[in-house]
Chains A and B, each alone.
Chain A
Amino acid sequence: AQSVTQLGSHVSVSEGALVLLRCNYSSSVPPYLFWYVQYPNQGLQLLLKYTSAATLVKGINGFEAEFKKSETSFHLTKPSAHMSDAAEYFCAVSDPGNQFYFGTGTSLTVIP
């Protein structure tokens, strides 16, 4: 079975600082991995996805994530935080032919 662990339910960074949101997964087969963002009172929006191509994946809004099989991690980063990045971030895993499993989310606060 697949599962996702997001370390840190709340992360605060200063505007302009590095954003690092952690995600570790468990999967018995090569997984597909996703990061979604949810702004208040809105649905989930895909930031980026890993589907067994390049291990460094670039997404929207300057975010990127690196798939590290040896560490079973898929951490999300952004070099410089912007106020508009404040939101809830969810990591998700699926294996081909199966459904999605989401982490419990990380709430990102950006301090001006």
Chain B
Amino acid sequence: AQTVTQSQPEMSVQEAETVTLSCTYDTSESNYYLFWYKQPPSRQMILVIRQEAYKQQNATENRFSVNFQKAAKSFSLKISDSQLGDTAMYFCAFMKLGAGTASKLTFGTGTRLQVTL
């Protein structure tokens, strides 16, 4: 079974600053995806960024980037130039891949990020 650990229940960052959210995972699988989802107060689950395990290059999406360390099983999210709209719960998630069939997500417990003026 897979586990995902987010060790930071809450974090705070000032507007325009950079913040890094931590995530570690445990798996014996070799083929998988990792995700960061954002859940603002509206409760919508929004996909922020995705990383395929077989890719060595870290994924980036505008102000969001990841530091994927496969050997260490670490997958941190960096948010640059933080904006008030980034205030949300952030969930790290793992999805194993098998023989062309999608699989369920395993979520961490989340990090509540507050962006302040």
Q: Do A and B come from one complex?
A: no
